[in-house]
Amino acid sequence: MRIITLGTHPRTSVATYGTALFFLIGGLFASPVFAQAPRITSVTPQVATRSGMVVIAGDHLGSKKNASILIGGQPAWATTWNDRQITAYVPESTALGPVPVQLTGNLSSATGPTLTVQERKPELPTAQGTVAWRFEVLANYISHRADVGRDGTVYFNDSSGFLYALTPAGALKWVYDGENLGSSGPTVVGRNGTIYFGVAAPDAAIHAVNPDGTGKWIFPAPDSQGPVGGPGIGPDGNIYAVFDIGGSIGAVSLTPDGTLRWNNLGEPRVGEFGQVGRELVFGGGNVYFTSKYYGDVYGFELTQGTQRFYTNIGTALQAATSRNGTLYVPTGLRLNSYSKTGQFRWSFFGDEQPPTNDLTAPDVSSRDGNIYINRNLGELYSLTPTPTVRWKVSSLLAQGPVPGPIVSPINTLVLMGGQETYGMPGLIKAFSTADGSVLFSISIPKEPDGTCAVPYARARFTRTGDRAYIPAVQLCVVPQQYHSWLYAIDITP
């Protein structure tokens, strides 16, 4: 795997490459000699499905770089690992029934309580608007959208810095460890199948991962706090990202093989307060970045990285673009529209009663240019590009750092997740693009510990629009240990 280093000039276009050893999870190298003999005291739950998560507790469990977990004799993917606890996944190849759970090292090993393995629930034809499956991770959040490869593989990252690959049926293919304190921004898949995601400081970087889960290259951002925009795939197939203040990078464009095309610090310098992680949007030959805290809106030209325009609107939330390059930016109180050259076109909302005090990220239909946006924690609007109101309906409280509705690629429905109101169970609703009528509603039952699995990021549709993937986190009450999930929702029977 290549590690990309930059020259010192802030707009350098030269990249040099070093080499880095990539350690596959599970360990490809010599196992350790444990200072003290490891001991497994419990495996939770005692019954798990293939690709199901198990938590292994014990003492002196060592490090996953130099040890491995075997479940039923099969190497298991592991995520969080410390001296007292390991999170692992039951391999798809594990035999059904009671199987041993083992930690293997060089001169020492440990065997824990028996785990009973069951078959995953088979994927069956379902009615419109049903949960096909969900996948569990031991992480505080899945804060950003998943992405889907051309073969249907689903990729997402969690707040602990791990990247996951799942089959359309919900089986775990692999886990990639970003070896960092946490991820930052969405997961995106390039035309060649490479997966890209960002990690925050102290080792802020963009990671490129091959479809088989091996590392391809890393673009580090020395001294930066991490990506605050992107990574995103432009219409030209190149990768774009915006790094926070610190270092000398700013906005960047990379080729699919990791070569730096350009970087631009921005004027004023790009930055954000907190690693919220914006999705970058594209249109009119530009890439757009918005900063919520500073209220900045930037447009950078794709080819050379020239800053096309800048404006400050007080608060700039997640933006969206139309096919003709029109930019839509919510302020929280207004929805502003700009041309691709940064000319102000119009502002909507402001005369309604009660007054507008909250707006989500908008989404724009690629078919007709109509705009969808949630207002005041429970009212979904459909606007024309001019703008006029097509319809408005009661919706739900959208949650997460970048909440809001997403229109399906075939323009039949708008999907949104969240809660009916604070403290309530998770809710997923689909609305007709024609008139806003509710097509289906999914109420997610509370977890056994009383927490609520609440959708926490916008949906990602498959290219055909027959399925959507929505991340969810634990809310309602504070759990003993945080879990998050990725939900697969079947849209059509």
**What tens digit of pLDDT does each residue of 290-300 get?**
999 999 999 99
Integer-rounded Cα Rg, in Å, for the chain is 23
Provide the token pair at 229. Answer: 């925009």
pTM: 0.92
- What is the four-CA torsion angle of 209, 212, 213, 219, rounded to 10 degrees? -10
The DSSP code for 94 is P
Report whether pLDDT(29) > 50.
no
Q: What average pLDDT does the chain have?
A: 91
Alpha carbon separation from 197 to 3, 14, 53, 204, 210 (Å, rounded): 15, 22, 23, 11, 12
Length of the chain: 493
| Separation of alpha carbons 50 and 410, rounded Å | 34
Report whether pLDDT(422) > 50.
yes
| Separation of alpha carbons 275 and 281, rounded Å | 18
* DSSP state letters, 173-205: EEEEE--SS-B-S--EE-TTS-EEEEE-TTS-E
The DSSP code for 302 is T
Alpha carbon separation from 26 to 76, 81, 84, 158 (Å, rounded): 7, 11, 17, 19
| Separation of alpha carbons 261 and 198, rounded Å | 18
CA angle 49, 51, 56 (to 5 degrees): 80
- Taken in order of first residue, the domains within the chain and their CATH numbers are 39-118 (2.60.40.10), 124-145+370-493 (2.40.10.480)
pLDDT at 128: 81
Provide the token pair at 143. Answer: 């804060």
| Separation of alpha carbons 274 and 211, rounded Å | 31
Report whether pLDDT(213) > 50.
yes
Least confident window among 42-51, 57-66, 313-322: 57-66
Banded pLDDT at 12 (limits 50, 70, 90) = very low
> What residues does 49 pair with on adjacent strands?
118
Report whether pLDDT(73) > 90.
yes
Alpha carbon separation from 369 to 324, 363, 365 (Å, rounded): 9, 9, 5
| Separation of alpha carbons 164 and 176, rounded Å | 7
Do the beta carbons of residue 452 and residue 476 sit within 8 Å?
yes
Quick one: what percent of the chain has pLDDT higher than 70? 92
Task: Tell me the average pLDDT across 136-140.
Answer: 95
Least confident window among 5-9, 49-53, 262-266: 5-9
pLDDT tens-digit series, residues 78-135: 999 999 999 999 999 999 999 999 999 866 899 999 999 999 987 666 678 999 999 9
* Coil, strand or helix at 3: strand
Report whether pLDDT(471) > 60.
yes
pLDDT tens-digit series, residues 152-201: 999 999 999 999 999 999 999 999 999 877 788 899 999 999 999 999 88
